[in-house]
Amino acid sequence: MRELRSIGNKELAVYLNKIFKHIEDVESTDEIGGLVKLRNYTHYYRIRIKVSDTRDYRLVLTIRKNKVWAESIALASKNIL
């Protein structure tokens, strides 16, 4: 994801590394913590990443047939997609 290079936040990189390792280790997508389905989309989910009191990020994932793709990461806002 190109967005990671532009963020430049080490704390966020550590959180993302933990999340991606956890996703690789789980047997089922039901075991992924903090996963919330996005309304009006059939295969899109988000994970909230709270780095500090002032910075919240959203990691958007696509999940189909127990395969996970990272789509986007952005500062929290009401319109991600």
Mean per-residue pLDDT for 55-64? 89
Average pLDDT, the chain: 82
Establish how many alpha carbons lie within 13 A of residue 65's alpha carbon, considering only the half-sphere containing its beta carbon: 0
* pLDDT one-digit tens code per residue, 27-46: 888 888 889 999 999 999 99
Q: Which two tokens stand for residue 41?
A: 């989309």
pLDDT of residue 31: 87
Instruction: Tell me the pTM.
Output: 0.76
